Structure 1
């Protein structure tokens, strides 16, 4: 294999790698953002808004990768369709497994409750109002990527009705109205059953469904908000 084809193939896989690192995913984590943050580089030009440096870097490197494919493979013009098909086939095969492995590695290196992933797919909460008794039931899926047991509590922000601007924060509690302590063992995924009720006759609650719900995972030292 000549040098031109080696560079073309390397450029091809570089484009796929960049897509893996800098695209959003079901885990709701852009690995490129995480890497840049760990390097001490700001991801945005103005705090959490403005110019997204990750996107600029990604676009630049992808264009360089495409240029490498075009410049160093003399057959690229005749076989452009094949390259596109090959890109999607290879990408679809390695994208999710590679991302899952990288994501698991990143989460396992974090500390505290940050090692817990909130799995939105399959998590849902239903709530009904029966004369001021608000009943909540459903499931919350979590995965602990660390080698330590995690103990925590959960709060659920809920809008009382569709016109409400501020959510009411409901703590998942037991029959004694005490916060329920949840436990997730090392490297385990769990479906937490949520089934409790609160008394609130002052607010005009409407029945509804949160699919998925926003949740707040917390303990005595930290609190993590997980949006929808």
Structure 2
């Protein structure tokens, strides 16, 4: 009986870890794996075209709760301390899983070579815009921190294509492109900076803000690598 409970507890733990991994995303694409699966089979992962309820988020939370209950019940006699402090155990599993995934992705970048070895620090990206009253121009500045994980010297250009922002039903759109070739030494971290001037249909208004959902591409003569940000 105790052996069966131990096995069932490990099954719930395995499901929990798999669920956590499906909540993760890659450095080149911020969309979680589970959302990509939903998209592949034609099921929306959000209500209201991305502005409502996150269905996959609720599903993942439900699975975490069920796995927590399953581990607690089956490991009461096998691992009583884990069962007693199940919430802290689950938090620890989540932190360790995400940390291991992040470390593994950086290691993966190390072995890729060329532009695929460039790692983007997505949480530290800044894309800000400012518009002055009476001017139909919008001034945009973007800062992207990246690191070259390879042992190669890399040179590349960068562009942010079809950046758009809807403010009060007035569409703002522009393309940002770096004019100079950027160089990265082996293991070097650098802040990539882009500036551009876009246009807006709303002339008699002013404002400023920041934006975190956009795509950018780095490129050289050999390849193009796209980063999809959806925060």
Report the TM-score, using the length of structure 1 for normalisation: 0.60
* 1:170 matched residue in structure 2: 176
Q: Does 2:190 correspond to 1:185?
A: no
1:24-173 alignment runs, 5 A limit: 24=24, 27=27, 28=30, 30=32, 44=37, 47=40, 49-50=42-43, 69=71, 73=75, 75=77, 82-110=84-112, 112-128=114-130, 135-156=139-160, 157-159=162-164, 162=167, 163-165=169-171, 167-172=173-178
Give the deviation of 1:108 after TM superposition: 3.5
Deviation at 1:123, TM superposition (A): 1.5
- Gaps spanning 5+ residues in structure 2: where? 46-55
Residues 121 and 212 in structure 1, CA contact (< 8 A), matched pair in contact too: no
Mean Cα deviation higher: 98-107 or 211-220: 211-220
Q: Could you tell me how far apart the structure 2 residues matched to 1:51 and 1:111 are?
A: 35
Aligned partners of 2:176 and 2:196 also within 8 Å: no
CA contact (8 A) 1:122 1:212 kept: no
Unpaired stretches in structure 1, ≥5 consecutive residues: 34-42, 173-178
State the 1:166 CA deviation: 7.3
State the SS of the aligned residue for 2:123: strand
Specify whether residues 210 and 72 from structure 1 end up closer, same or farther in structure 2 by C-alpha distance, changes over 3 A only: closer
Return the offset for 1:69: 4.3
